[in-house]
Amino acid sequence: MKHIKYNQYKNSNIYWVGDIPSHWEKIPVKHHFFSKKQVAGILADDYQRLALTLNGVIKRSKEDAEGLQPEKFETYQIVRKNSLIFKLIDLENIKTSRVGLSKYDGLVSPAYITLSSNGDILPAYAENYFLNMWYEHIFNQLGSVGVRSNLNKEDLLNLPIIKPPLEEQELISNYLNKQTTKINEIIAKNESVKFYRLLSNLIFYT
């Protein structure tokens, strides 16, 4: 794998990120992602059902009776392959999944928020960025106060995201896919380690 050594860093001014290489950018999510809800309606039978779980986005049978189930799936929304799926409701619950990248076209709950990339940020890289926010309970901290705290689509689109060059996004995504277990162990042992400093140590100096 290609190795890159960074000599200069800057403060990202994002408390859950920390310092980043000086040539990386901080931008609002809405500059590189869009969210458009397409209600399935009469097309519901043409798509498989998907679910966001702790193990990512998986296929789920429409006959699965576990949990709350709709009588029909016409109100579900259509999601496309390589879209990010977010469950940003009931944020006081820190033990539920919050984000995943769909490998399939399918149907998801109308309560979910979906994001599609305009091509400047790789979906696989963005998934890891948002997964880090989940690992560090950032979504829970940002949620509104209430019985069922939540973030809406506008809240999500206005969040900042770090944008390395595309080549480096690909390096990061590929490396993280191979090193997820190791990274999770390090984070579990030292929760103060910031994600992008950890990336620098694991990817660019090893």
What confidence tens digit (pLDDT) does each residue in 116-141 have? Answer: 999 899 999 999 899 888 888 888 88
Task: Give dist(CA 72, CA 70) in Å, integer.
Answer: 5
* 78: β partners: 107
In whole angstroms, what separates CA 109 from the centre of its chain?
17
Query: In this model, does residue 62 exceed pLDDT 80?
Result: yes
Query: In this model, does residue 9 exceed pLDDT 80?
Result: yes
Q: Quickly count helices (H) and strands (E) in the chain.
A: 5, 12
Contacts of 122 (CB under 8 A, 6+ apart): 166, 169, 170, 173
pLDDT at 90: 86
Query: In this model, does residue 51 exceed pLDDT 80?
Result: yes
Query: In this model, does residue 146 exceed pLDDT 80?
Result: no
- To the nearest whole percent, how much of the chain has pLDDT over 90? 50
pLDDT at 1: 44
Structural contact between residues 82 and 102, judged by C-beta atoms closer than 8 angstroms: yes
pLDDT at 144: 59
pLDDT at 149: 83
Q: Whole-number mean pLDDT of the chain?
A: 83
